[in-house]
Chain A
Amino acid sequence: DAGVTQTPRHEVAEKGQTIILKCEPVSGHNDLFWYRQTKIQGLELLSYFRSKSLMEDGGAFKDRFKAEMLNSSFSTLKIQPTEPKDSAVYLCASSLLGGADEQYFGPGTRLTVL
């Protein structure tokens, strides 16, 4: 089975641009997570979907971050407008049974905002 795929692997954006990151979860998984990873803050949850329904939207990230799950096999994370402080690695993960199951992580997208 294919694991979680994320595209692009690297993204460079100018401040104020809109960027869209993509994620394909493991086939058959019901839960999908978006995280931001930085050395200082560690792993921060951005969004959590269960069966395509948004369960958690990561509070502090609401204003410029929007995740969508258009179907069970594809999700996007839009950042609009980007700011230099958004530079980080964005990880997508999926799991079969939510809390009872491990999360399978994608390779991540490294975002640099100039």
Chain B
Amino acid sequence: GEQVEQRPPHLSVREGDSAVITCTYTDPNSYYFFWYKQEPGASLQLLMKVFSSTEINEGQGFTVLLNKKDKRLSLNLTAAHPGDSAAYFCAVVTGNYKYVFGAGTRLKVIA
């Protein structure tokens, strides 16, 4: 079945620095991709939805890149601030509509 590897498991950056989280997947038929954010003590909330035809998505303070050739999805927080401290999860939807989550990245932004 689909394998999703998320790196790094923990990440600590200073305020204003960038932070990059990467997920690699195995199923070449995967075509929907999601990033979720989980703040301490809270549940998961959608950060960004990425379709197979989209390579770059930009949100408020972050960029999502999808490289289908390398089967890699990345989340780049361009100028991290303490409010970005949270756990981030990627999710990959496989060709048979199965949702597979990465193991998560715990990001800490130091002021």
Question: Would you call B25 an interface residue if the criterion is a C-beta within 8 Å of the partner chain's C-beta atoms?
Answer: no
**Which listed residue (B34, B42, B43, B98) contacts A102, Cβ 8 A?**
B34
Q: Which residues of B contact A102 (CB under 8 A)?
A: 34, 46, 49
CB of A12, distance to nearest CB on chain B (Å): 18
Listed stretches A65-73, A79-87, A103-111; interface member: A103-111
Query: Chain B at the A interface: mostly helix, strand, loop or mixed?
Result: strand
CA distance A91 to B36 in the complex (A): 14
Q: How many residues of A contact B (CB 8 A)?
A: 16
A40-71 vs B, Cβ < 8 Å mask (1 yes, 0 no): 00110100000000000000000000000000
Does A105 lie within 8 Å of B44, measured CB to CB?
yes
Chain A: which residue is nearest B106 at the CB level? A39
Does A108 lie within 8 Å of B34, measured CB to CB?
no
**Which listed residue (B42, B45, B98, B101) contacts A43, Cβ 8 A?**
B101
Chain A: which residue is nearest B101 at the CB level? A43
A selection of 18 A-B contacts at a CB cut-off of 8 Å is: A42-B101, A42-B104, A45-B99, A91-B43, A98-B97, A99-B99, A100-B32, A100-B93, A100-B97, A102-B34, A102-B46, A103-B34, A103-B46, A103-B91, A104-B46, A105-B36, A107-B42, A107-B43
